Homo-oligomer: A and B are copies of this chain.
Amino acid sequence: MTKYVYFFGSGSSEGSADMKNLLGGKGANLAEMTNLGIPVPAGFTITTESCVYYYKNGQKLPEGLEDQVEENLKKLEKAMGMKFNDRNNPLLVSVRSGARVSMPGMMDTVLNLGINDEIVAGFIEKTGNPRFGWDSYRRFIQMYSNVVMDMDSELLEHILEEKKKEKGVKADNDLTADDLKSLIPVFKAKVKEYTGKDFPTDPMEQLWGAIKAVFNSWENDRAIRYRKLNNIPSDWGTAVNVQAMVYGNMGEDCATGVAFTRDPSTGEKIFYGEFLQNAQGEDVVAGIRTPHPLRKDRKTDENLISLEELMPEVYQQLVDVYKRLENHYKDMQDIEFTIQNNVLYMLQTRNGKRTAAAALKIAVDMVNEGAINKTTAVKRVAPSQLDQLLHPTFDVKDKATHKVLAKGLPASPGAAVGKVVFNAHDAEEWAELGEKVILVRVETSPEDIGGMNVAQGILTARGGMTSHAAVVARGMGKCCVAGCGDVSINYKSKTFTVGDVLIKEGDIISLDGSTGEVFNGEVKRITPDLGGDFEIIMKWADELRTLGVRTNADTPNDAAVARKFGAEGIGLCRTEHMFFEGDRIKAMREMILSSDVAGREKALAKLLPMQKADFKGIFEAMNGLPVTIRLLDPPLHEFLPHEKKAIEELATDMGVSVEKLESKIESLKELNPMLGHRGCRLAITYPEIARMQARAIIEAACEIKKEKQVKVLPEIMIPLIGDVKELKMLKEEILAVAKKVISECGVDLDYTIGTMIEIPRAALLADEIAAEAEFFSFGTNDLTQMTFGFSRDDAGVFLPDYVEKRILEDDPFQTLDKNGVGKLVEMGVKLGRQTNPKLKVGICGEHGGDPRSVDFCHKTGLNYVSCSPYRVPIARLAAAHAAIDSKK
């Protein structure tokens, strides 16, 4: 017979802290505390397995569970010296959920269970407190009818409110025992009226109702959403904890509180918590009354009285307990306690949630205290949490005073404040005059790069987390709120509206890129300090990780920022971004509009010195580190204007007719540009482009080496390869140019030529391709698009449905799809190394900065990941986690 129920109480438990998967976090820790001899009200835990069984079998409880619950109820009665369903010495219980990981407030709880008209009398006799008795009873009916019987909680709350009005009182506490007693039949009648059922009076029936309700709450909307947000698998299930009630609200010698063993905001080693006298636990959380500090030295107001002063003995006991707990768990604890008639009961302990700064400090401090080792310390900081530290954030208090104007997708973190402008040109002009601007667009295109670059933040009305705006903004480490559908933009009048609110060009708005919120006016900001703890943890992480971390950077400035964040090279330098600035776009357009090789070569010759200068800057910034440069990738039409006026201007500029220009633009239009004439296909058609770029790279490398003794390690990367013959053909072009330039310069230069693997066919035929490649870099953005057949620009319409309906666990553009895309990556690595054992393999898609994807990259044996500069520390830490996890 499977054991479905685990008992704890009387100083020993059937469970322990390492049984979290089976007993849930709460249940395992209650068992552990009991084992440690810490005072915990006795109880028992119904396993998560029971919940899993329940869902796998059409919401049926497993056989044997009933007997085991009854048996444990007996043990519980014995441990507490009270009896369930006994008028004379009644035992009341709480029924609480508890999954493997904490899902605060997401699932249901029932308190004071086991009470009815008869038992309440005995309860009153025993406590000698009629008001308390009736209050517990009415609270139970309210909670139970809501949680178990699916009644809207407002229905009974309304009756309570009416009663208070009738009695002319304000607080629940002001109602007398008789008032409360008089509510019971009214409540019951309302339940009958609303549900068509009598409120259950049998305590056992109540108990099973509550147990099932907790199981059911695993699949309520809130819980589902929470799991999705926190990547908690839906097949874990929840445990149910049935525990003897203790009361913090039985009189003045009672209290209830919560505490952290260290400060969860700063990490400071200070016992930190609050309590309420004569109150139930829920009251502290609900914030109806202002709680008091536990410690005397934490009083902010003379009128407050600390627990230390109020109940010095119990306080000392609590201090002993918290120290034992932290010492035992070797981590900062978040504890809940209740004091009933001057007796301390612990109701919960768990590892406390903390800010990124606190996580760093606690981890470092605990290593210094000798409590944990460096490996544990590194694992204590979640990589994704670091994001908070790397961008300025809004002052929480000031933010609270601003109403949210609109909400979009949190596309790129940061807190931006600036004046609204509606096009890239204005953004650049205003910025030149020293203005801080927010660029507001329906969506952005590569033409907007300049404006995005000078803006504080970007707000778009359309596009998803991987839209152009989002991707480029993250690359720049720039705040971006994307796909903000509430915003209705009128370019002509240079205004946008949200409902009735009209925002004009020049008005100040604030964007929170971590939440997607948009505020009218300026919200104050704070720049977190990357203190010594950050450096220490990152140093330890670097010692532990084996996976390299590079950055995606297109400018010397990006490269320098990334290097400061610990990047060990550039994994992706996109050369096309270099073609949008100033005169360059002109030369680029001239190239595109040329009808023959000679014309194209003439235009390319103008681009050569500019591109070379960029490369020199980047090589210098990355002195001694490898720099992977990708040849031109986007379709040519991205470099041409699409609006009538811009076309006319360009035509005049170029000295061609508007018709000719329009017809060229038309001829470059594609139905599916994603699958069109781009990447290496451009170089196959126009090898002169690849030749110019190869020359720019090699000349830059030779010159900077000669001029400044910079150590240059260029890696030339050919994008969008689908067949080895493409690579071979272009490699030959590049080798010929490189050979020529190197001999012209008279410099020794090592460089490599490799390819992106971003087309499924390339991964499938990686063995052939590796014969010609010195390195692979998985372009998992495009690889994901083609493997799924999802256009990331269009998937916004249906992807949310997919995640909502749980067809996909994650947005595959955010977290690498291990099953499908990952299979291709694994094949690519395996086949590639089969042919070329020295093949260097990296990844340069957006996934390179996503911790779970980094874990996959480590497991798959990649040499490095490459991500945007601001995600480099996150990737470093994630790589360390991956190394630690895979050693287990």
CB proximity of A647 to chain B, nearest CB, Å = 20
Are A726 and B807 in contact (CB-based, < 8 A)?
yes
Can you sample 20 A-B contacts with CB below 8 Å?
A671-B794, A672-B673, A673-B791, A673-B794, A676-B794, A684-B802, A684-B805, A684-B807, A685-B801, A722-B788, A759-B788, A760-B789, A760-B820, A761-B787, A761-B789, A761-B821, A765-B819, A765-B820, A765-B823, A768-B819
The contact of A805 among B729, B758, B797, by CB within 8 Å, is: B729
Most B C-beta atoms less than 10 A away, residue of A670, A808, A817, A820:
A820
Interface string of A256-285 (1 = CB under 8 A from B): 000000000000000000000000000000
A539 on interface, CB distance cutoff 8 Å: no
Cα distance A426–B395 in the bound complex, in angstroms: 67
Contact among B760, B802, B807 for A787, CB-based, below 8 A: B760
Contacts of A791 in B (CB 8 A): 670-676
| Nearest opposing residue in chain B for A672, CB measure | B791
Q: Are A675 and B677 in contact (CB under 8 A)?
A: no
What mask results when residues 801 to 817 of chain A are scored 1 for a CB within 8 Å of chain B, else 0? 11001111000000001
Q: Does A720 contact B (CB under 8 A)?
A: yes
**Distance (Å) between the CB of A801 and the closest chain B CB?**
6
Find residues 661-697 in chain A having any chain B CB closer than 8 Å to their own CB: 670-677, 681, 684-685
On whether the beta carbons of B671 and A793 are closer than 8 Å, the reply is: yes
- Across the interface, which residues of B come within 8 angstroms of A798, CB to CB? 677, 681, 684-685
Kindly list chain B residues whose C-beta atoms are within 8 Å of the C-beta of A761: 787-789, 817, 820-821
A331 at the interface (CB under 8 A from B): no
A684: chain B residues within 8 A (beta carbon):
798, 801-802, 805, 807
Give the contacting residue for A760; candidates B671, B760, B794, B797; CB below 8 A.
B760
Q: Is A725 an interface residue (CB 8 A)?
A: yes
CA distance A797 to B761 in the complex (A): 20
| Interface residue? A625 (CB, 8 A) | no
Q: Which 5 A-B pairs have the closest CB atoms?
A: A675-B791, A672-B791, A761-B820, A676-B794, A671-B793
| A794 / chain B contacts, CB cutoff of 8 Å | 670-673, 675-677
Nearest-neighbour CB distance to chain B for A807, whole angstroms, equals 4
A523 neighbours in B (Cβ, 8 Å): none
Complex CA gap A823/B760 in Å reads 11
- The docked-state distance in angstroms from the alpha carbon of A265 to that of B219 is 75
In whole Å, how far is A108's beta carbon from the nearest beta carbon of chain B?
28
Contact of A725 among B673, B789, B793, B806 (CB under 8 A): B806
By a CB distance below 8 angstroms, the chain B residues around A674 are: 671-672, 674-675, 789, 791
Tell yes or no: A790 within 8 A of B by CB: yes
In the bound complex, residues from chain B placing their C-beta under 8 Å from that of A821 are 761
Residue A723 at the chain B interface, CB threshold 8 Å? yes
A805 CB contacts on chain B under 8 angstroms = 684, 729
Is A786's CB under 8 angstroms from B807's CB?
no
| Residues in chain B near residue A820, CB distance under 8 A | 722-723, 760-761, 764-765
Q: Which of A673, A676, A817 has the most CB of B within 10 A?
A: A676
Bound-complex Cα distance A851 to B765 (A): 24
Tell me the A residues contacting B by CB distance below 8 Å.
670-677, 681, 684-685, 720, 722-723, 725-726, 729, 758-761, 764-765, 768, 782, 785-791, 793-795, 797-798, 801-802, 805-808, 817, 819-821, 823-824
Q: How far is the CA of A101 from the CA of B759 in the complex (A)?
A: 36
Whether A808 lies near B676 (C-beta < 8 A) is no
Contact B725 A764 (CB under 8 A): no
Whole-angstrom distance between the Cβ of A854 and the nearest chain B Cβ: 22
A197 to chain B, nearest CB (A): 30
Bound together, the chains give a CA A677 to CA B794 distance in angstroms of 7
Which chain B residues lie closer than 8 Å to A787 at the CB level? 759-761, 764, 786
Contact indicator A764/B824 (Cβ below 8 Å) = yes
Q: How far is the CB of A365 from chain B (nearest CB, A)?
A: 45
For residue A790, which residues in chain B have a CB less than 8 angstroms away from its CB?
A: 675, 722
Complex-state Cα separation, A791 to B720, whole angstroms? 14
Q: What residues on B are CB-neighbors of A673 within 8 Å?
A: 671-672, 791, 794
A807 contacts across to B, CB distance below 8 A: 684, 723, 725-726, 729
Least CB separation from A782: chain B residue: B789
Please measure, in the bound complex, the distance between the C-alpha atom of A91 and the C-alpha atom of B444, giving whole angstroms: 79
Shortest distance from the beta carbon of A442 to any chain B beta carbon, whole Å: 11
- Could you tell me the distance between the alpha carbons of A771 and B760 in the complex, rounded to whole angstroms? 24
* Nearest CB in chain B to that of A724: its residue: B807
Determine the distance from Cα of A816 to Cα of B785 in the docked complex, in whole angstroms: 22
Closest beta carbon of chain B to A583's beta carbon, Å: 28
Q: Are B802 and A672 in contact (CB under 8 A)?
A: no
The answer for the CA separation of A671 and B674 in the assembled complex, in Å, is 8
Q: How far is the CA of A499 from the CA of B227 in the complex (A)?
A: 67
The chain B residue sitting closest to A668, CB to CB, is: B797
Q: Provide the bound-state CA to CA distance between A793 and B673, in Å.
A: 10
- Whether the pair A723, B681 counts as a contact (CB closer than 8 A) is no
Q: Which residues of B contact A723 (CB under 8 A)?
A: 807-808, 820
- Inside 8 A of A795's CB, which chain B residues have their CB? 675-676
What's the nearest-Cβ distance from chain B to residue A35, in Å? 42
Residue in chain B with minimal CB distance to A822: B764
Which residues of chain B are near A764, meaning CB under 8 Å?
787, 819-820, 823-824
CB distance from A469 to the nearest CB of B (A): 14
List, in ascending order, chain B residues with CB within 8 A of A788's CB: 722, 759, 761
Select from chain B the residue with minimum beta-carbon distance to A761. Answer: B820
What residues of chain B lie closer than 8 Å to A671, measured between beta carbons?
673-674, 791, 793-794
Question: Which residues of the other chain, B, contact A806 by a CB distance below 8 angstroms?
Answer: 725
Instruction: From known contacts A805-B729, A823-B764, infer whether A675 and B722 are also in contact, taking CB-CB under 8 Å.
Output: no
A482 to chain B, nearest CB (A): 15
A789: B residues at CB distance < 8 A: 674-675, 720, 722, 758-761, 782, 786
Name the B residues within 8 Å of A797 (CB-CB).
Answer: 676-677, 685
The CA-CA distance from A797 to B664 in the complex, in Å, is: 13
Name the distance in Å between A860's Cβ and chain B's nearest Cβ: 15
Q: Which residues in B have their C-beta under 8 angstroms from that of A670? A: 791, 793-794
A758 to B789 alpha-carbon distance, docked (Å): 9
Chain B residues whose CB sits within 8 angstroms of the CB of A758 once the complex forms:
789
User: Within the assembled complex, what's the spacing in Å between the Cα atoms of A670 and B729?
Assistant: 34
Task: Evaluate contact between B672 and A793: CB separation under 8 angstroms.
Answer: yes
**List of B residues within 8 angstroms of A677 by Cβ:** 794, 797-798
A690 to chain B, nearest CB (A): 14
Task: Tell me the minimal C-beta distance from A791 to chain B in angstroms.
Answer: 4
How far is B794's CA from A374's CA once the two chains are assembled, in angstroms?
A: 55
Complex: A824 Cα to B677 Cα, angstroms: 24
| Docked pose: A691 CA to B811 CA in angstroms | 27
* Residue from A787, A789, A802 with most neighbouring chain B CB atoms (10 Å): A789
Q: How far is the CA of A729 from the CA of B801 in the complex (A)?
A: 13
Identify which of B720, B729, B768, B785 contacts A675 (C-beta below 8 A).
Answer: B785
Residues of B within 8 Å of A675, CB to CB, are 672, 674-675, 785-786, 789-791, 794-795
The closest CB in chain B to the CB of A827 belongs to B764
Closest to A667 in B: B797
Instruction: Give the chain B neighbours of A782 by CB distance below 8 A.
Output: 789
Most B Cβ at <10 Å: residue of A673, A675, A808, A821: A675
Q: Which residue of B lies closest to A808 (CB)?
A: B723
Q: Shortest Cβ distance from A761 into chain B, in angstroms? A: 4
- Chain B CB within 10 Å, residue with most, of A720, A725, A794: A794
State the CA gap A774–B785 with chains docked (Å).
27
